[in-house]
Every structure is written in C-alpha cells, then in structure tokens.
Amino acid sequence: MDNDLSHLPGSVQKLIALIGLPLTLRMVEVFGGTTLYLYRSEACVQKLSSVVGAEAAQKIISFFGNTPVTIATCKNALVTLRNRDILARFDHLTMVEKLSARASVLQIVKDYTPPIHERTIWRVLKKTGQAEPVDPRQQKLF
C-alpha cells in the first residue's frame, strides 16, 4: 500500500504525523464520527490512554491543548482502500489462481464480511479503466 495520505481528512493526517498510523486507526475505530474534548483532567487522560497508550495520549493533549478534535469516520478513505483490495484480489484470482472473472467475483463476495453485492464489485472493476487524475506537477514526456 502506498503512503499517499491525501485522501484522508486533515485531522486524521495530523494525528498520523503525531502518533503514527496504527494508533490513529485505533482512534478512528473507537472515536470515529465524534469530537473529542481534550482537557488536562485525569479522566480525559485515562480515557485516551486506554485507547492509544499514555505516551501517545500525552502527545495528543500537548499538541491540541484544550481544542476539540474531530475524529473523522474516514468513510471515503476506507472505500478507497476496499476498492484497491478488490482490484488486487481480483488480479490475484484471475492471473495467479487462473479463475474466471465470474468465479473470482463470487469468491470476493464470500471474502467480505459483511458481504458486498457482486454488482458493487463489478462496478469497482469497471472503474479501473478510467484514467487517474494527473498530478499538475507531472511533466509530459514528449
């Protein structure tokens, strides 16, 4: 997986820079969709420490102070990651395991909990033919 964090919300990018990706993902799992009101009280430190550990909790409280922090649900980012996983899984099943496209899609449906409808997987696969947006900093070859 690449380290491009541009698809993540700004608050989550700040947390990743501050405490790292694994602990940030844990915070999203526990606090996603809520606003944390950080106070330098023992209860606040203890609540945060139970999720990310004492050292990371102190970093977060020191960085944000008493400013409320919105922890995004990262729905779009998770859909992007899911779609990348579907594409990689499909490529593996069709190229390495030599399954047909239909059999591969049916296997992917079974792999996800909760299951994803096969039409959703076909939509994801069809979108791969579209060109990715070009980075304006990229120069043309010719």
What is the model's pLDDT at position 130?
Answer: 52
| Closest by CA position to 44, among listed 63, 58, 34, 33 | 58
* pLDDT, greater one: 132 or 59: 59
The dihedral through the CA atoms of 132, 133, 139, 142 has a sign that is positive
43, 44, 101 from 48: Cα distances, Å? 9, 6, 46
Mean pLDDT throughout 49-58?
93
Mean pLDDT throughout 72-88?
84
Find the angle CA(78)-CA(32)-CA(62) to the nearest 5 degrees: 120
Per-residue pLDDT band at 6 (split at 50, 70, 90): confident
**Would you list the domain boundaries of the chain?**
10-73, 76-127
Amino acid identity of 96? Answer: V
Mean pLDDT throughout 72-90?
85
Mean pLDDT throughout 3-28?
84
SS3 118: helix
pLDDT averaged over every residue in the chain: 84
Amino acid identity of 98? Answer: K
Alpha-helix runs per DSSP H in 21-94:
21-31, 42-52, 54-64, 75-91
Per-residue pLDDT band at 108 (split at 50, 70, 90): very high
Per-residue pLDDT band at 1 (split at 50, 70, 90): very low
The dihedral through the CA atoms of 10, 82, 80, 96 has a sign that is positive
Q: Does 32 have pLDDT greater than 70?
A: yes
What is the model's pLDDT at position 38?
Answer: 84
Mean pLDDT throughout 63-84?
85
Amino acid identity of 67? Answer: T
**CA-to-CA distance for 10 and 117, rounded, in angstroms?**
31
